[in-house]
Structure 1
Amino acid sequence: MSVTRAQQPVAIPTVRTRTRLAHPALFLAGIVLVALNMRACLAAVAPVLGEIQRTFHLSPTASGLITTVPALFQGVGAPLTPRLTRRFGTERVVLGAVLTLGAGVLVRVLPSALALYLGCVVIGVAIAVLNVSMPGLVKREFPDRAAAATGLYSTATLVGATLAAASSVPLEKALGGGWQASLGAWSLLAVVAALAWLPQVLRSRQAAGAARTGGTGGPAAPAGRPIEGIWRSSLAWQISGFMGVSSLLVYVLVAWLPTILADHGMDRGEAGLVFAFSNLLQVAGAFLVPLLAGRMTRQSGLAVAMAAMNAAGIALLLLAPVSGAWAAAAVLGVAQGGSFGLALAFIVLRTNTPAGAARLGGMSQAVGYLVAASGPVGAGALHQLTGGWTVPLVLMLGLAAAAAVAGWGAGRNRTL
């Protein structure tokens, strides 16, 4: 497969004129509402994880699976998404995935440990489909502003996570139904997103009908062929590695940060606030870093900076888990949000066509989330084995160094 220098933006030809951009506000509103769902149902778990453990008498390792299973099935489901979008169209696939996500949220709160994990499977597959579909949509609709649009999408994803983390315990108290009511309430957000996305589905059907009768004006068909031999590309593996290791660090702390702080003596309510604060600052990183990346020819230094900030935040948790918690949360928030946004930006910056972005997105997210899936359960198992959090955090420091190496390669001025 070929890798070329990306000195200038590559114009993306289209088979027919796009009409969706005649209503950019509606399209962006749909993207934002869909993205709000993509981490909210995961981030809502951490503040109530202790109660879930007590309800089903779960060990720390089994509790880690609540976060690991969705990540694992994100990796499993990602390679299948391009086939679905080619067969049914991206708009319909996104709508189906959002509705499936809402159903998974409801299954997860049924009174059974089996249903808990089954719901996690459904959630993981639905998020996988959305993860892979979105970069292709962004590349198709905003070929000249893909990095900025990616920043908006990644920001919305983390805003959803922040809202969920901050409101999980208050919702539990307000609804009076325990953790089940708190987690189940997020299915309503999926319904709102599905309703907002429905006009895009109707528009794509109208465009398809016009194309069959010889009309024009439908959404642009992805130009060019999918990338061949992507699994043999060192650049694709570096992008996948950066996404995978960065996601692993995020998933470990999504699963365990409040517990780590509480185990060191912090009040559970304050631990939840620290976690929410970290998620809030992820929003800033997810918005600003892709914007910076889009203005740079090389993003290697930016990727290394994100990895270094991750390492600094983890070191603070090791050295001062309570007194340094807020500072660690601030550094980790910017670093993790920035790493997430940059990993998504790499998908559109390192490809020239929507079809290429979809193919690279499928690979990078398959590899990335399979790597990330080992994080929460691995950290839980090490905590159970050693009786503390020192060993898991030290290993995370080493993984931050690995992210720096992968990010340096992923940030080179090349396209697939």
Structure 2
Amino acid sequence: MAVTRAPQPLATPVVRTRTAAIAHPALLLAGILLVALNMRACLAAISPMVGEIQRSLGLSATASGLITTVPVLFQGVGAPLTPRLTRRFGAERVVLGAVLVLGAGVLLRVLPGAAALYAGCVVIGVAIAVLNVSMPSLVKREFPERAAAMTGVYSTTMLVGATLAAGVSVPLERALGGGWRASLGSWSLLALVAALAWLPQLLQARRPAGPAAPAAAVSAAPAGRSPWRSPLAWQISAFMGISSLLVYSLVAWLPTVLADHGMDRGEAGLVFAFSNLVQVAGAFLVPLMAGRMTRQRALAVAMAGLNAAGIAVLLLAPVSGAWAAAAVLGVAQGGSLGLALAFIVLRSDSAAGAARLSGMSQAVGYLVAAAGPVGAGALRQLTGGWQLPLALLLVLALVAAAAGWGAGRDRTV
């Protein structure tokens, strides 16, 4: 598919009715932020519980690893289906349905038996996939002139939700007194709150048509040309996929890498938490910077370069350089996530186009990312050390730089 220079977004007049008044911009923003809080929280909440779940259900180490891998895998599987859903039902209904399904998956995951655990992980992965794809097109539609800045806001909120969930899961377990099931199941309440906050948007989507097409009609726009034939779309997908692989690999193994080199496990956990905290700053600031640039090539290469620098420190000085590596990787990982999402809105010319590009890039991205933790662990077991897995991640960071150089061009898919 040929690419063209990115047009300047045009503000579209909106028909005001009594239902449109319900969906005040502040309510829209609150709905987006509450949905975003859910998009990583239920995944991060399970990480501190994996050991207890393994003991409770008698799972092997490999089976325990699938608890975190399965949702990521199904985020990739579910992503291509979302543009069809939004065209048929409208983005507002799809988002509401996905949040409710996410809450149901959280509850399914804590029912007795390993089968329910994995079934819940599948449901959660598919629901998050729908939200991952829907949100960029909504941001593109509702904030056409501030799409990159709003992308930074909601990507930051996702990471805040993840950080909060990881930090309070164990205290929740102790406070509720119901073991890991009570702690993990409580996150369904957050999904319910987000669903209630999203209801005004559903009412807005029902407003009558006027001189300008209503939001639901925009969501239901006919399918355009497929991004799967666009080199630019593949470059965006590659940048998202490799960046996500680096994130998930280090999320899964960074504390173990540090502990295997002699660091106290408690300190290794603090280093990991610090890196997650720094991600929030990167996820907020990098999309803001991207929105002020015509081309984002240098920014993409900088994020990949910081990833490479942090991994190189882990290779050369894993203990003495751990805190420095955590800071650099935090900026790189949060910034790469925010930039990959910003590419979706900056490289598309409409909300429908953003949905199609988001569906492709996140399908490719999460399928690639799912291989990271498993592959790194397998290489560690095969070689008996972390040198080869980290060296391979270093090479992949350089590939991400090349993909980002192409994705950062001033073009649209």
| Shared fold per TM-score greater than 0.5 | yes
Residue in 2 that maps onto 1:50: 51
Matched, 1:248 2:245: yes
State the one-letter code of the partner of 2:240.
Answer: M
Match of 1:219 in 2: 215
For 1:202 and 1:137, the matched residues in 2 are separated by 16
Q: Distance in 2 between matches of 1:180 and 1:394?
A: 38
- Confirm whether residue 237 of structure 1 aligns to residue 238 of structure 2: no
Question: What secondary structure is seen at the aligned counterpart in 2 of 1:414?
Answer: coil
Q: Which residue in 1 is equivalent to 2:82?
A: 81
Structure 2 partner of 1:70: 71
Shift in alpha-carbon separation, 1:273–1:380, aligned structure 2, 3 A: same
Give 1:220 shift: 6.4
Q: Report the counterpart of residue 103 of structure 1 in structure 2.
A: 104
TM-score (norm 2): 0.92
The alignment status of 1:130 with 2:127, answered yes or no, reads no
Question: For each residue in 1:324-356, what CA deviation from the matched residue of structure 2 results, as whole angstroms up to 9, or x when unmatched?
Answer: 322222111111110000000000101111111
Tell me how far apart the structure 1 counterparts of residues 320 and 187 of structure 2 sit (CA, whole Å): 33
Aligned partner of 1:336 among 333, 358, 364: 333
Question: Is residue 371 of structure 1 aligned with residue 368 of structure 2?
Answer: yes
Deviation string 1:179-236 (CA, Å, 9 cap, x unpaired) is 333322222211111111112112223x1xx23xx79784364397544142111000
Aligned to 1:258: 255
* Greater Cα shift, 403-412 or 256-265: 256-265
Contact kept in structure 2, 1:101 and 1:127, CA below 8 Å: yes
One of 399, 402, 409 as aligned partner of 1:402: 399
Three-state SS of the structure 2 residue aligned to 1:143 is coil
**Structure 1: gaps of 5 or more residues:** none
1:10-25 to structure 2, matched below 5 A, reads 10-11=9-10, 13=12, 19=20, 23-25=24-26
Give yes or no for contact 1:35–1:157 (8 Å, CA) kept in 2: yes
Structure 2 partner of 1:9: 8
| Cα 1:215–1:13 shift into 2, 3 Å | closer
* Corresponding residue number in structure 1 for 2:307: 310
CA distance in 2, matches of 1:12, 1:415: 18
CA contact under 8 A between 1:309 and 1:335: conserved in structure 2? yes
Q: Is the 8 A contact 1:243 1:365 kept in 2?
A: yes
Q: Which range moves more in the overlay, 76-85 or 12-21?
A: 12-21
State the match for 1:355 in structure 2.
Answer: 352
Match of 1:114 in 2: 115
Structure 2 vs 1, CA of residues 248 and 299 (structure 1 numbering), >3 Å: closer, same or farther? Answer: same
The one-letter code of the counterpart of 1:5 is: R
Change (3 A) 1:338 1:80: same
Contact 1:16 1:219 in 2 (8 A): no
Alignment of 1:320-331 (within 5 A): 320-331=317-328
Distance 2:119 2:262 in 1: 33
Going from structure 1 to structure 2, the CA distance change for 1:180 and 1:269 (only over 3 Å counts) comes to farther
Q: Deviations over 1:298-325 (max 9, x none)?
A: 1011001101111122222233333332
Label 1:359 to 1:21 Cα distance change in 2 as closer, same or farther (>3 A).
Answer: farther
Match for residue 41 of structure 2? Answer: 40
Count, aligned residues: 410
Deviates more, 1:318-327 or 1:138-147: 318-327
Relative to the length of structure 1, the TM-score reads 0.91
Distance 1:332 1:194, change over 3 A: same
Query: Is structure 2 residue 228 aligned with structure 1 residue 228?
Result: no
Unpaired segments ≥5 residues, structure 2: none
Q: 1:404 to 1:44 in 2, by over 3 A?
A: same
Deviation at 1:293, TM superposition (A): 0.4
**SS of the residue aligned with 1:415?**
coil
